[in-house]
Amino acid sequence: MSDERIRILKLFKEGKISMEETLQLLEALEESGFQDEPGITEAEIIDSQAAVHAEKAFAKADNSHMPGDSDKDIPNADNEPAGDSSGSNTGDRDSKKYMHGFNIKIPKIKIPKISIPNIPDIEIPEINIPPIKVPGVNITSSDDHDNISISSIGNIDGDINVDSISVSGKGSFTGNVNCDRINISGDCSFQKNVSADKVVVSGKLHIGGETSADEIAVSGIGSFGSSVSTDKFDTSGYASIKGSLSGDSIYNSGTLKVEGDISADSLNTSGSLQTERGIKADSIKVSGTLKTGSDVFVDSFNSSGCFSINGALIADSIKVELNSSDCRVAKDIKADIVNVFKRNPQNEVFLDAPAMITDSADLVNTRLKILKGSTLKIGTGCIIDRVEYTDELTVLEGAVVKEKVKVYRLDS
């Protein structure tokens, strides 16, 4: 222990300085650079061996401390003249006097001046991070694989045979599919053939192969890459078929486009129906528009809309109500009975064909090159170049017949 510390502790034991003064002196020694030994704490001063001596020293100090006496014996640095400490200044330390003549030299701490250079602004280039598409797969099926449900994104490989398929997200099937029921409210693609009892499309469906179903209903978008065979085909949305369409009942109130032939027991269109080839049906009813690329063979043809047949119209009976647009047949019209009329006399619309061959005809606003029949009634608005008849001919006012010939039999 250093001499200065021994001296301080000796004064404390003699009762000449209080504990507080002792601790202050010891702390000052540590601050002035006497770091060769660890500091002494209050607990170390009052240890178990010196407790009694310390109490006596405290009592002695308190009894002997009279006004003025201690001030004489213990000088205070605050009472020192301002110039006393300045004389002992060595240039690199400040000297401070404490009681009982202790001079503590506190070194001056010189903090060097720090020059901070000018830091240029750092321009961080803009980083364009492309969107990351993380496919989410949500496919659920029972243990026996009876049902497939896709509500996010799902890809199914290979041929499958299930009870039902439901897609409300985005689905893809790479193999052939055999299923009882298919319900598409999202976006689904079948790359090969599909066989089902019922197909319902309120979203978007594409089938790359052939489609065979008892019932197909399209209220969204249906795209069929090959032929479609069904008992009932109903579209109120948009459907396109690259192959042929065959069904017992075909009803269209939306848009239906077929690249191949159409064959049906019953065909009804109140929307837009177009085929690049022909139609064979038991009955056809047109209240929207019908356009074909070839012949139409039908038992009963009934139209209150508009039709354009790029071929022949051959039927047992034909009934045409002219409304807002002209109707056209590129080749011959052949039927047992033909009835052409219009409800609004102001409508200047016509049925145009090169020839009509019939047993019985009642016509208005019909333009023909030649008309052949047994019993014929030619009404207002008709313009016919030549009429051949076997039984009876009636030409009403407002009709134009350029040539009339009665024959014994009709040539086909």
**Mean pLDDT, the chain, whole residue set:** 82
Which residues make beta-bridge pairs with 341?
Answer: 321
Residue with tokens 């985005």: 170
Q: What are the domain boundaries of the chain?
A: 3-107, 313-412
Indicate if the pLDDT at residue 229 is higher than 50: yes
Task: At 242, list the tokens.
Answer: 């690259």
User: For residue 77, what is the DSSP state?
Assistant: G
Long-range contacts of the stretch 115-119 (C-beta < 8 A, 24+): none
Query: For residue 46, what are the contacts with CB-CB under 8 A and spacing of at least 6?
Result: 19, 54
Structure tokens given for 237? 């949305």
User: pLDDT tens digits, residue range 363-408?
Assistant: 999 999 999 999 999 999 999 999 999 999 999 999 999 999 999 8
Lowest-pLDDT choice from 130-139, 177-186, 242-251, 255-264: 130-139
User: What is the number of alpha carbons within 13 Å of residue 376 lying toward its C-beta?
Assistant: 27
- Is the CB of residue 321 less than 8 Å from the CB of residue 303? yes
Task: State whether residue 119 is helix, strand or coil.
Answer: coil
pLDDT of residue 51: 47
Q: What token pair was written down for 152?
A: 């996010």
Helix (H, G, I), strand (E, B) or coil at 26: helix
From the list 14, 100, 25, 95, the residue with the least C-alpha distance to 50 is 14
Give me 70's structure tokens.
């201690």
Dist. CA 239–CA 295, nearest whole Å: 22
Q: How many CB atoms lie within 10 A of CB 389?
A: 19
Reported as a single tens digit per residue, the pLDDT across 128-160 is 766 545 454 444 443 345 899 999 999 999 999
Interval 254-306: pLDDT, tens = 999 999 999 999 999 999 999 999 999 999 999 999 999 999 999 999 999 99
Q: How far, in Å, CA of 26 to CA of 4, rounded?
A: 9
Predicted confidence band of residue 40 (pLDDT cuts 50, 70, 90): low
**In the prediction, which pLDDT does 345 show?**
81
Q: Are 214 and 229 in contact (CB under 8 A)?
A: no
Q: Beta-strand (E) ranges in 103-150?
A: 103-107, 139-140, 147-150
